[in-house]
Chains A and B, each alone.
Chain A
Amino acid sequence: MFKKGLIFAVLLATTLAFWAPAQDKIQVTFWHAMSGGLGETVDTLVAQFNEQSETTEVTAVFQGNYGDLFQKNLASVAAGEPPTITQMFENWTPSYLQPALDENALAPIQGLIDPSIVADIPGIFVSANTYTIDGEATLTTIPFNKSATILYYNQETVPNPPTTWDELLELSQSLRQDTDGDGEDDVFGFYMRPGSSGVGELYLTYLKMAGGSIIADDCKSVNLNGAEAVTAAQFMKDLADVSLTGSDFEDGLFAAGTIQMYYSTSAGIVFATRSVGDNFPWTTFGGLQGPAGTSSVIQGTNLGIFQMNHTQEQVEAAADFVSFLVDVPQTVFWAQETGYLPVRTSAIESAEFQDFLANSDTYRAPTESLDNAFITPGLEEWSDVRLTIADAVELILVGGVDIQETLDQLDADVDEALSSVSDGISCTG
């Protein structure tokens, strides 16, 4: 009897050992706003990670555009059930930290990822992702899909890109044509979207080129009505007067030959490539000089890890995935597929990426723009401020208003909006 029992026990133990399911992987959810081809690239990277990781399973979830994602992030934090990782702009991050919340919902990246990775991230990204936590400047998020603002131009009609504001104005005027003889120009040199929310960032880029600064060191006031600000606004107005203005995305008009040049984010390279096809040669340029030099606004989001409602294991697993995403092969792959910037210095300098640039000229300008680039302030208030700036710029471009008066009002409005910024905050821009 004892013998039978022993055999049964051994058999049972052996069977259970074989039948026992593999230890469950740690589950990490990654909310993003990357649709279409960008989403497919995210899925490819996630699949690569899941295949190589024995401990972590990442699920990437598309959550609509940036606005939808922000709404859902806010709601999920309010409900106490945020994802493990999410994309966030610099000005979203404070919404997930004290004093906006009773406790920090985010786990700072600093301390979670290898310091050698942090040391390899370009300084502009490190400062933009650093926030004051418990009185200490702390790297809180990590750059992910970062793009630079660059000039796109048709190489058939613009053999050499304009290098100064005057050249850009002259070229924009001279390229206008009435091809069908109806008395109305139907081909334009330059194109602007005065009604887009991004027109504010474009204005800040020109402001920087004019030698202006955006925000005071204490983050409580801006300088949007000084001499440089007026120069930048006047230039934009002059440019708008000789350009086509509208609300359509640029790449379609560019492909149709209606416009020959436009300023936009490098994330649009994939769209322009697709739209233009083999119709004509085109490329990008990042060295337009204003009175004080060149500049480019860096846009796009960073990655943050939520500790709220997550175990330390999940937070660390999320950090592993984030480290994987910004590892050199992955960030180079991401840049090649999407037009976003590699977020590691060693990735930009890598032979693989340099070889890629040698064969893909259009991707060179964004990387070269990085040296003179800036990022708008990572303040919670900036979400509204950027729209206020965009509204004022739209008025200047197409509303026929007095530039100085409009900028004075803008400066006062933004100062008022920033009056609630806490003491001791530092911000970029």
Chain B
Amino acid sequence: MNAFLSEREVIGFWLRKGATYAVLLGGVVAMSVPFLWMISTSLKAPDQVKVFPPIWIPEVLHWENYVIAWTSAPFNWYLFNSFFIATVSTALELITTAMAAYAFAKMDFFGKKILFVLLLGTLMIPGEMLLIPNYITIVKLSWIDTYYALIVPWIVSVFGIFLLRQFFMSQPDELWDAAQLDNCSRFRFLWQILIPLSRPGLMTVALFKFIGSWNAFLWVIIMTNSPEKRTLPVGLRNFTQEAGSLFELLTAASTLVILPILILFFFTQKQFIEGIARSGIR
């Protein structure tokens, strides 16, 4: 603190700082406790799961829960499918989303605003309402129980288009004017100039997509029949019934399922937060 501040101002400064950290710490605890509970429960015996007050570190760590959980269903298949489907659909969505967002952000064409509003309007239709019509479409295409059914319908995202459009709009039009002087096509301008400048936005769209695809359950179970086409969230259903849950196995499997997403977020969090901040979404 410098000498120009009075003692009261110094105390006020530290109080404000202390309050800020206390709130942040509260947030950290609130966010961490469910994760810690999940990991702790995954190492317990069945009769310790609901003991109150909770046992945070069991005397005997039941690591075998992870093995039992993983081998109680074809989780290796589920893991491969989750990675494959999430990766492919994320890559394809980035391509379609970037092109559509560019058109809405930087091009003028008849009915652009109405089309965009209509597009946004589709966000208000609950997915469950479209499930049966979509199922019928997939059946007519003979795509039931195929990767096509799990990937193709999800390679376009209205939310992604909206988010990237906001990002592209923040880039100055002068860039396009300059590019035109060098005979740059719109396609080349998009891929070689606009997209590299919008990397945080793309990372945000990609992360949203990857997490959404990774966690997808209802669509996968409705569109598939064989275990070889199903994903990790479907596997988690093996531990829950109407009459009870195998909590220690469910949490062991959940820990393994959530791990790749945590690692992904760890490496992309800076760009993810920047992307959210710059696109104006709160």
Contact = CB atoms under 8 A, between A and B. Distances in A.
Nearest to B145: A61
A79 B135 contact: yes
Interface residues of A, number: 46
Nearest to A66: B242
A198 to B, nearest CB: 8
A68 B243 contact: no
A250 B135 CA distance: 36
Interface residues of B, number: 35
A13 B180 CA distance: 75
Contacts of A186: 52
Interface stretch (B170-178, B203-211, B217-225, B269-277): B217-225
A35 interface: yes
B222 A275 contact: no
A115 to B, nearest CB: 32
A276 B50 CA distance: 11
Interface stretch (A15-23, A231-239, A265-273): A265-273
Contacts of A80: 139
Given A249-B244, A264-B243, A271-B243, A255 B46 contact: yes
A1 to B, nearest CB: 50
Given A36-B72, A265-B243, A267-B241, A256 B52 contact: yes
B275 to A, nearest CB: 34
Contacts of A265: 242-243
Contacts of B241: 34-36, 38, 65, 267, 271
A65 B243 contact: no
Interface string A351-377: 000000000000000000000000000
Nearest to B239: A36
Contacts of A71: 128, 131-132, 218, 222
A96 B218 CA distance: 22
Contact of A75 (B52, B131, B237): B131
A252 interface: yes
Contacts of A279: 47
Interface of A: 29, 34-36, 38-39, 61-66, 68, 71-72, 74-76, 78-81, 147, 186, 198, 248-253, 255-256, 258, 264-265, 267-268, 270-272, 274-277, 279
Interface of B: 45-52, 72, 128, 131-132, 135-136, 139-140, 144, 217-218, 221-222, 225-226, 234, 237-247
19 contacts: A35-B238, A35-B241, A65-B237, A68-B221, A71-B132, A72-B221, A72-B222, A75-B131, A198-B242, A249-B244, A252-B50, A255-B46, A255-B49, A256-B48, A256-B51, A264-B243, A267-B241, A271-B245, A275-B46
Considering the complex of A and B, which 5 residue pairs feature the smallest CB-CB distances, nearest first? Answer: A271-B244, A252-B50, A75-B135, A267-B243, A268-B243
